[in-house]
């Protein structure tokens, strides 16, 4: 199987590997500055955030704790409903901690707004959001992502952690999935 953007599976690359890595470096420097003298725990949202966690954390020139959550949002089809269920909870207490959620994509914002509230309710001192991608719908909800990699159009994208039926997560770039694969 050829996973290059030849149009068979990946219609086009919208964010290249190089673009992702250089943007992550920039954002990491910003995070180091913003959290200077402060505590920092990264909470990755499984499974989409695996690549972002691995790369971003390696660009952070400071100590960080890392923990993971897996959540699922119920809803018809591929639209999230805002009703979220925890599949895997954090291993550690976050009372009084400064949390940075690491996400792959902010779409309707329902997942992230639920997660932010949930972490604050556990007594986190602060909860901020890092997302690799943001879609236009995110503008209509009140989830403020402090760190955004790229604003992208409302198309279904895969790669760099994002999947279609669990595949394509291992692509080092972000691409638009060929429509014939899902329509």
In the complex, minimum distance from the CB of residue 96 to Mg ion, in angstroms, rounded to a whole number: 26
Q: Does 108 bind ligand XMP (CB under 6 A)?
A: yes
Contacts 24+ apart (CB under 8 A), 125-130: 125/39, 125/96, 125/97, 125/98, 125/99, 126/98, 126/99, 127/99, 127/100, 127/101, 128/99, 128/100, 128/101, 129/100, 129/101, 129/103, 130/27, 130/31, 130/52, 130/56, 130/100, 130/101, 130/102, 130/103
Among 5, 43, 48, 102, binds ligand XMP (CB under 6 A): 48
Q: Does 107 bind ligand XMP (CB under 6 A)?
A: yes
Instruction: Check 67, 107, 151, 163 and give the catalytic one.
Output: 107
Of residues 45 through 84, those in contact with Mg ion by CB under 5 A are 48
Q: Which is nearer to ligand XMP, 93 or 155 (CB)?
A: 155
Q: Does 109 bind ligand XMP (CB under 6 A)?
A: yes
Which residues contact Mg ion (rule: CB under 5 A)? 48, 104
């Amino acid at each position: 199987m050829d996973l290059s953007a030849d149009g068979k599976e990946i219609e086009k690359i919208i964010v290249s590997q190089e673009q992702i890595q250089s943007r992550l470096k920039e954002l990491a420097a910003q995070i180091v500055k913003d959290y200077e003298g402060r505590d920092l725990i990264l909470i990755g949202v499984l499974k989409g955030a695996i690549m972002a966690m691995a790369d971003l954390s390696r660009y952070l020139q400071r100590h960080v704790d890392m923990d993971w959550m897996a959540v699922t949002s119920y809803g018809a089809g591929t639209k999230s409903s805002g009703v979220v269920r925890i599949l895997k909870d954090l291993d550690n207490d976050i009372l009084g901690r400064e949390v940075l959620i690491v996400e792959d994509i902010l779409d309707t914002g329902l997942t992230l707004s639920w997660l932010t509230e949930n972490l604050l309710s556990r007594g986190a001192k602060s909860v901020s959001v890092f997302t690799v991608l943001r879609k236009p719908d995110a503008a209509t909800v009140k989830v403020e992502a402090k760190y955004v990699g790229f604003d992208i159009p409302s198309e279904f994208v895969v790669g760099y952690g994002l999947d279609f039926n669990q595949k394509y997560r291992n692509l080092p770039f972000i691409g638009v999935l060929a429509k014939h694969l899902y329509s």
